[in-house]
Structure 1
Amino acid sequence: MQHPTRPITRGLTGLALTMLTVPALTIPAAAPAGATAAPTAATQARTPRHTVHHTGHHMIRYASVDSCPRKDGTTTPCHTWRLDLLDGRRVALKDAMLWPLTAKGRPDRTNSAPLTVSGDGESVAYFRRSDHRLVVREFHSGVQGGVQGEVRVMPRNPLPHGVGMNAAWLKLSQDGDRLALGYTTADGRTRVRLFDVARASATGTTPKTDAFSGFSGDGSAVLLQRAGDANTIGLSVHDDTGAELAAAVPPQIVANNGPWALSADDRTVAFVTGLGKKAKLHFYDVATDQSTGSVGFSLPKDASLDMIDWTGGHEVTLHLVRVRGSRDVVTVLRVDTETGRTRVRDSYQVRSGAFAYLSCGG
């Protein structure tokens, strides 16, 4: 099964995980363990351009598509994309493309077409089946007769000539206001085209990079990863036009412990080290190339960190995955960046028989 929750340089291959069944994860709250300060006042002084709108229900938990066997012994995505909602309902997303098109316009049945869910669980972006247009659909329970809301259609031909959908991926910001369309260039590098969803317009394209690490907490900027000299990893922050705001080659403790999350101040990066009671949430300032503190908290030793997102001025949200038997168990954990206290926002088992699934973010 493919688990493409985080975009990488080559389409939706994602993190390959075997699925399994276990009871819901229990994570104890933890007080700070020898922690220093979270991001400084200076790094939080900038007023975010957008407000992250979080609702209590997080309508969409995750999107998934079924797996069916092929004659050659491999598997293929089949049926249709489905959205599992927090209230237990499952909605068929019938207008979303199932297979991506190659640069020659042929369906690639070995992969699922690009799709992404916003962090607040209220928007989903995909290529539309009827006309192959890139769209963002809102989902909320107030819509008459169901949960589907307004559809915003992005500009035509969002991918450059010669690049197929099977070399592309999608990522929405936390509030669904911004959309990233990444694609692999001929030299194996990644470029990311950025969109303003409300205006249905492209705002810019990033320089070539090695990986996309995500939107800032308010969606006003993106964090990119690029290879440096002597096998080093660099991080750079770019605004919605693709212009560089800050860049640094961080120390190994930062570079070796992705994934990373970018704060709404467009400079503070959060990342996690350690497991169990030795886990720490660290903060690094890309603009000054300096550590700005850390806070201790507790993580289960048998879970892997799949996603990290800033979901408030003093909060990050972690997606943890445990693999047992036939299903993945996902736990969504909120961490206070000042105290290290944790709270489980959600915990669920991904349905069996999925070819790929994509969780909402924060």
Structure 2
Amino acid sequence: MRRTLLGAAAVVAVAAAGLPAIAHADSAGTARVAWVGSCDDKDEISHACGAWRVRLRSGGQIKVADAAATSVDAHGRKTEETGKFAISADGEWIVYERKSDHRLAVRRTSGGRVTLLPKSLTRLGTDIVRVWLSPSGDRVLLEYSETGEKEPGKIVTVATGKIVKLPAGDDLEGFSGDGDEALALRYNTDNTTTLVALGADGSTVAQVPPQVVINASTRALAADGRTVAVFAGAQPKLRLYDLSTDRLAAAVDLRLKKGTVVYHAQWTGEDQLTVKVQSGGDGKPTVVRVLTVDTGTGAVKPVDTFTVIARNYAWLTAGE
């Protein structure tokens, strides 16, 4: 999930809070958060500028020098939209919009060989595109908005460039826990909403679920392609919904402080979710806490905390 904050200078400080990081094979080369700076034009209107930067779990920082700060339209003209960027949930891969030609590129966070995705993916420009990177970085999900609303979304396999087209108009929400499916909302003519799991193999599982599922603040699709974690309510409770049977499990209480909002969730185990909550903002440093949630008991365990100082144009964390 991208957070856009209009500010004066491009400064971000990210600091660990003494909590253990999520386990990775090489934490020195995995990303925690990325951001792009902010500049003001002659009319004092802020826009993204400068290089995208990535804070690593080890505490280090890298600059992605060939990543575009801003997108282009279908005619190749610079727009005010932020350049496309995403991090895999494991933090080891990034996808970004290449500055030289605005093609989408995938590489390891730590550097190395760059894989360019097919040119056709951005033929309508990059300003109307939203991208997600699968949890292990092997697939990219694209959604087209506004003038591209009739363009089908796509799942792209990075290694081969294979493209699976998704139904145009579906409101995509990101990858499943293993990256084999995408979760989406489909708005029907009878004022109902269908929840859909769209497989990279072309398969579909769909239901018109209870309103509590549709009205949830955050949803996440499991690796099985049918179980959806739902966070709902002013004091978030966890519910599991089965797309194949239309079964909604009883609510599980979460041991979170009152007023906490879960803004992102990802399945990271058969019975485990990794979620993010945040506080601050509005000119104050934003604090992001990463927690694991046991889906059976609701037990919450902190695994990481970092702070994003508000003077940047946009930021995002691993898995968003």
**Which residue matches 2:199?**
239
Alignment of 1:98-247 (within 5 A): 98-108=69-79, 110-139=80-109, 147-160=110-123, 163-184=124-145, 186=147, 188=149, 191-197=152-158, 199-241=159-201, 243-247=202-206
Q: Which residue of 2 aligns with 1:361?
A: 319
Deviates more, 1:180-189 or 1:298-307: 180-189
Residue 135 of structure 2 aligns to a residue whose secondary structure is coil
Between Structure 1 and Structure 2, the one with more strand by share is 2
Counterparts of 2:227 and 2:219, CA distance in 1: 10
Q: Distance in 2 between matches of 1:221 and 1:138?
A: 22
| CA–CA distance in structure 1, aligned partners of residues 316 and 290 of structure 2 | 13
Distance 2:150 2:192 in 1: 16
User: How far apart in 2 are the matches of 1:157 and 1:203?
Assistant: 10
Deviation at residue 80 of structure 1 after TM alignment: 0.7
Contact 2:3 2:316 in 1 (8 A): no
Residue 305 of structure 1 aligns with which residue? Answer: 262
Once the two structures are superposed, the pairs formed by residues 1-362 of structure 1 within 5 Å of their partners are 5=1, 55=25, 57=27, 59-108=30-79, 110-139=80-109, 147-160=110-123, 163-184=124-145, 186=147, 188=149, 191-197=152-158, 199-241=159-201, 243-276=202-235, 279-324=236-281, 325-361=283-319
Query: RMSD across aligned C-alpha pairs, in angstroms?
Result: 2.7
Inter-partner Cα distance in structure 1 for 2:171 and 2:132: 13
In structure 2, do the counterparts of structure 1 residues 62 and 24 end up closer, same or farther at CA, with 3 Å as the change threshold?
A: closer
* Alignment partners' CA distance in 2, 1:16 and 1:91: 21
- Relative contact order higher in (CA < 8 Å, ≥ 6 apart): 1
Please list the CA deviations of residues 89-143 of structure 1 after superposition, one character each: whole Å capped at 9, or x if unmatched: 11110011121111111011x221111011011110012122332211112xxxx
Secondary structure class of the residue paired with 1:157: helix
Q: Distance in 2 between matches of 1:193 and 1:273?
A: 28
The 8 Å contact of residues 184 and 191 in structure 1, kept in 2 or not, is answered as: no
Gaps of 5+ in 1: 6-13, 28-52, 140-146
Q: SS in structure 2 opposite 1:148?
A: coil
Determine what percentage of the aligned residue pairs are the same residue: 33
8 A Cα contact 2:217 2:262, kept in partner: no
Distance 1:210 1:193, change over 3 A: closer
Alpha carbons of structure 1 residues 293 and 253: separation in structure 2 relative to 1, 3 Å: same
Q: 1:171 Cα shift?
A: 0.3
Contact 1:25–1:331 (Cα < 8 Å) also in 2? no
CA shift, 1:233, in A, is: 2.3
CA drift at 1:67: 0.6
Corresponding residue pairs, total: 310
Shift, 1:18, TM fit: 8.0
Task: Give distance in 1, aligned partners of 2:194 and 2:223.
Answer: 20
Which whole-Å CA distance do the structure 2 matches of 1:333 and 1:247 have between them? 29
Once the two structures are TM-superposed, the CA of residue 270 in structure 1 deviates from its matched residue by 0.2
Query: 2:49 and 2:120 mapped to 1: Cα distance?
Result: 26
CA distance in 2, matches of 1:339, 1:306: 20
Q: Secondary structure of 2:212's match?
A: helix
Cα 1:183/1:320, change in 2 over 3 Å = same
TM-score by length of 2: 0.88
Q: What 5-or-longer segments of structure 2 have no aligned partner?
A: none
